[in-house]
Structure 1
Amino acid sequence: MNEQMKLLKLSFPLFFESLLFTVIGSVDTLMLSNYSDTAVGAVGVANQILFLVLIAGNVIAQGAGILMTQYVGAKRKSEDLETLTITALIVNTVLGLFFSALLVLFSPELLSIMDLNGEMLRFSSEYFIIISRYLFLHLMTMTFSVYLRSHGETKTTLKVSVLMNIVNVVLNYILIYGHAGFDALGVQGAAYATVISRLVGFVVLGSIVYRMGFYQKTIRFTPASMMNVLPRILKLGAPAAGEQISYNLAKFVMMIFITRLGDVAITAYSYSNTLAGFVYIFSVSLGQGTAIMIGWYTGSGHKEKAKILGTHSAKLSFSISMILCTLLVVFRVPFLRILTDNPEILTLAGHVLLFNFIVEAGRSQNLIYVNALRAVGDVNYPFRVSLFSMWGIGVFFSYIFTVSLSFGLPGIWIALGLDEIVRALLFRKRWLMDPPQTPFTTMEKQV
């Protein structure tokens, strides 16, 4: 099969999975907006904190995923994949329970940082506590998803995502507004719908992984084998997750700037983010598909194929993103009217989306090159660049534009765009200058 066709075959299920999550996320936003515009803003603030914690728990899944794709490409023994999978599952379960307990215990302190008050604080607290209690389900499910994707089973994860999102939409309708004999729970209903859909995903994905890799097999996993592979997972996973943690922590700080602009700005940010999500979902899925194939090439020693594929994906990602961004900007007002009829929010969000070209020009490249660099084990460079750019450019200019120059919410978008473009240029230079390596084989020799 042609390499580019193979990439698309892997990426399109991931694209539809991402599209589905974005559509359902928009449906969630629409359902909540019919309940209350304030509820939309409150959930957006809560999710900013929750996403940060989820990515902190992504250390194990990131490292295990890189090694799994390389092992599959190198046709390693099934016991090696068993050890990776079981190790990741055990550690993520422990981490998930720890994070769940920590978030519930310190929820008042965490939300107080965001400077919320009144109904916005109440809604945010209700949603945050319910999701936090069951956060461990998401981390455990991530392990199963990584296992399947490393084997190219992207259609399987898509099917499970369809099921999860159908469950989520149906339960949102029932629990937010109060149907089928249930009370109208509002924001709490949206939270419970999310938790139950995640539970469904955990059970279904877990059973598929068990049948695919462990059914009727002798499991040779031992604590010693776990301690042998865990340092390798952490060596790759910690910088990879650290880059994402830095990104979301920087956005968390930016969110603090936004909350000080008032409730209209908070809600306009949530709606703008919802619509912008439709633009970069192709780049997200293409980046994930590219990472799988580059991992396979790296494991089998085909370095030049990996390099060519990464460059091709970056060009394709930029072209598609610019087309989608143009459509969003042209039709932004009709799209926003689906979500809200508040004239202040419509005006502000419509103005903000005009600056989305700046953001997507860089983001469309970053989502490819970061995944490509991670897939070959080059995880430290993206982490260092991200620390410099996200904080030295993104957060710094967010403060300058919103506080010193009073640009308001558009200033946040401009700062995000500058950060994305700088990182894109540096990552592209790294990918073109340094040929892909096979770090996992070097690491094996060290252990």
Structure 2
Amino acid sequence: MDEQFSQMKKMFSVLVPVTLQQLVISMNFIIDNLMVSYLGEEFIAALGSSNKFMVIVRMSIIAICSASGSLISQYRGSRHKEGVSRTFAINSIITFSTAMIFCIIFFTNKDFILSSFSDSKEIVLISWSYLSIIIFTSFSFSLIMPMMTVVRSTGNVVSALLVSVISLFTNFIFNFILIYGKFGIPALGIRGAAISTVISEVLSIIILLAIVNYKITPISKIKDIDFSFKDIDKFLRVSLPLLSAGLLTSLSLMFSHNIFGRLGEEELAAYGIISPMENILSDLFAGVGLASIVIIGAELGRNKFESAYSHAKSIIWSGLASSLIIGSCFIFFSSKVTWFLDIDEETVGYVVTMLTLLGISMPVRTFNSTMSNGMLSSGGDNVFLMFVTMTADWIFALPSIYIGKYLFNWNIPKIYSVLILSEILTATIFIFRFRSKRWMTNLVGG
């Protein structure tokens, strides 16, 4: 009994800070959305549209770092410090290169990308004013995530949480000053929200550099880290399938948003309101998955497979219990959305319906997020993840919503319902994979 209590205590000492950190990170999106909402519905729509492109960038970097987290956690479990340092160095190089590629893609194809957001010229122009600044956070994010990953995966989860809290408050303060124009500074509107994000991320980089230098590896020695082709090959074998899955998911989201953008300004505004809430929830439960990489990855690195499976089941049940509570709250408070947002009656109707659907689907989404962001990744089962993404998103969801929109003229709640059915399909596949235990692999040979 004492051993079981000790295991639960150890699990929650990682699970709670990592999950809270993801919640804090996603609160940045909701703060931006709430503050920008007072500028008008077209600004909400533009912000939601712009963030769909940035989601592709960020999900790609997160996917690479998730693979890195799996390796670092297993190296930590097998007490291989050099493996931790090498993986961190390789991860940093690849994520920064990825950010550079996305920036080149954006600036060479900006007209096509912006026109895919909406038929409204006003929304496209507002999106450009925001994206032309926020795109540069690709570089800051590509530096933050490898450092955040190595800090978190080596057990320094509270330090990672504190960095995110400081970043949140910095973003809020500068949003207030720059969006509305305070203390003699001119009001910059949606551009102010973008600049605030840049400032908060630069501050995060400075703090994380200090933590990495003090707790993990001296920054001055990073240039001396020697890694071979074998190390790079190991990293790419784990990360490329996960990156492919992340790209496929984010591209499917962008194509889905393209459909929403053709439904009308009210429906696009409704999705612009729902989208940050979805981001908060996906980030929150991705936190459960990321925590499981730290916990389960370390067990797999020690070849303690039964212990890893036991921890995995405990984490899944904890996530499902939390999702039932949060989902119920969403359903109960869905009709109270007018307390916080100044939007018209038609948009309110769409938002209420979609919030209710979001609440109902919460347990399924939570399970999928935990599996894709943590359980399967912790053992490097990333080719299977890519297969699931292709099946659920590209074979089922996208064709269905395109047919629904262009043949049957579905409204946004019906299209949103199809996306939820896609989540149910994904969950069914994940259940069989989890029970098979084929995802449990020692990646580092410890």
Q: How do 1:79-158 residues align onto structure 2 when only pairs under 5 Å count?
A: 79-158=82-161
Distance in structure 1 (CA, Å) of the matches to 2:329 and 2:428: 25
Q: Kindly tell me: are residues 170 and 81 of structure 1, through their superposed partners in 2, closer, same or farther at Cα, counting changes over 3 Å?
A: same
Q: Kindly tell me: are residues 236 and 216 of structure 1, through their superposed partners in 2, closer, same or farther at Cα, counting changes over 3 Å?
A: closer
Q: Kindly tell me: are residues 323 and 233 of structure 1, through their superposed partners in 2, closer, same or farther at Cα, counting changes over 3 Å?
A: same
Counterpart residue type for residue 46 of structure 2: A
Distance in structure 1 (CA, Å) of the matches to 2:223 and 2:191: 43
Determine helix, strand or coil for the equivalent of 1:354: helix
Distance in structure 1 (CA, Å) of the matches to 2:412 and 2:253: 13
- 1:339 deviates by 2.1
Structure 2: tracts of 5 or more residues without a match: none
Counterpart residue number, 1:52: 56
Of 10, 15, 18 in structure 2, the residue corresponding to residue 6 of structure 1 is 10
Distance in structure 1 (CA, Å) of the matches to 2:63 and 2:19: 23
Determine helix, strand or coil for the equivalent of 2:409: coil
Structure 2 residue 178 is matched with structure 1 residue 175: yes
Counterpart residue number, 2:389: 386
Counterpart residue number, 1:325: 327
CA contact (8 A) 2:212 2:219 kept: no
Counterpart residue number, 2:39: 35
CA RMSD of aligned residues (A): 2.1
Of 210, 214, 217 in structure 2, the residue corresponding to residue 211 of structure 1 is 214
Distance in structure 2 (CA, Å) of the matches to 1:420 and 1:367: 10
Distance in structure 1 (CA, Å) of the matches to 2:415 and 2:196: 31
Q: How do 1:429-440 residues align onto structure 2 when only pairs under 5 Å count?
A: 429-440=432-443
- 1:206 deviates by 1.6
Counterpart residue number, 1:413: 416
- 1:51 deviates by 1.1
Counterpart residue number, 1:184: 187
Counterpart residue number, 1:373: 376
CA contact (8 A) 1:39 1:187 kept: yes
- 1:104 deviates by 2.7
CA contact (8 A) 1:360 1:417 kept: no
CA contact (8 A) 1:100 1:134 kept: no
- 1:406 deviates by 2.7
Distance in structure 2 (CA, Å) of the matches to 1:330 and 1:50: 31
CA contact (8 A) 2:89 2:222 kept: no
Kindly provide the CA deviation profile for residues 267-300 of structure 1, in whole angstroms up to 9, marking residues without a partner as x: 1012123334555554222222112111000000
Distance in structure 2 (CA, Å) of the matches to 1:385 and 1:250: 13
Counterpart residue number, 2:19: 15
- 1:149 deviates by 0.9
Kindly provide the CA deviation profile for residues 348-403 of structure 1, in whole angstroms up to 9, marking residues without a partner as x: 11122222245323211111222101101111111101111111222122223333
Determine helix, strand or coil for the equivalent of 2:135: helix
Distance in structure 1 (CA, Å) of the matches to 2:190 and 2:222: 43
Kindly provide the CA deviation profile for residues 309-364 of structure 1, in whole angstroms up to 9, marking residues without a partner as x: 22222222222212211111111121343023321211111122222245323211
Q: Normalising to structure 1: TM-score of the pair?
A: 0.93
Distance in structure 2 (CA, Å) of the matches to 1:303 and 1:336: 50
Kindly provide the CA deviation profile for residues 35-58 of structure 1, in whole angstroms up to 9, marking residues without a partner as x: 122111101111101111222334
Counterpart residue type for residue 174 of structure 2: L
CA contact (8 A) 1:64 1:84 kept: yes
- 1:421 deviates by 0.9
- 1:426 deviates by 0.8
Kindly provide the CA deviation profile for residues 162-197 of structure 1, in whole angstroms up to 9, marking residues without a partner as x: 111111111111111111221111111111111111
Determine helix, strand or coil for the equivalent of 1:440: coil
CA contact (8 A) 2:48 2:275 kept: no
Total equivalences in the alignment:
441
CA contact (8 A) 1:325 1:356 kept: yes
Kindly provide the CA deviation profile for residues 204-247 of structure 1, in whole angstroms up to 9, marking residues without a partner as x: 11221112222398668456x15331111111111112222211
Q: Kindly tell me: are residues 348 and 161 of structure 1, through their superposed partners in 2, closer, same or farther at Cα, counting changes over 3 Å?
A: same
Kindly provide the CA deviation profile for residues 130-183 of structure 1, in whole angstroms up to 9, marking residues without a partner as x: 111341110111000000111121111110011111111111111111112211
Distance in structure 2 (CA, Å) of the matches to 1:412 and 1:8: 37
Of 162, 165, 168 in structure 1, the residue corresponding to residue 165 of structure 2 is 162
Structure 2 residue 408 is matched with structure 1 residue 395: no
Distance in structure 2 (CA, Å) of the matches to 1:336 and 1:367: 29
Distance in structure 2 (CA, Å) of the matches to 1:206 and 1:216: 8
Structure 2 residue 286 is matched with structure 1 residue 284: yes
Counterpart residue type for residue 290 of structure 2: Q
CA contact (8 A) 2:90 2:232 kept: yes
- 1:435 deviates by 4.5
CA contact (8 A) 2:73 2:154 kept: yes
Counterpart residue type for residue 233 of structure 1: F
Higher mean displacement: 111-120 or 236-245: 111-120
Counterpart residue type for residue 151 of structure 2: L
Distance in structure 2 (CA, Å) of the matches to 1:59 and 1:117: 33
Counterpart residue type for residue 372 of structure 1: M
Counterpart residue type for residue 144 of structure 1: M
Counterpart residue type for residue 341 of structure 1: I
Counterpart residue number, 2:236: 234
Q: Kindly tell me: are residues 172 and 197 of structure 1, through their superposed partners in 2, closer, same or farther at Cα, counting changes over 3 Å?
A: same
Counterpart residue type for residue 99 of structure 1: F
Higher mean displacement: 62-71 or 294-303: 62-71
Distance in structure 1 (CA, Å) of the matches to 2:22 and 2:95: 23
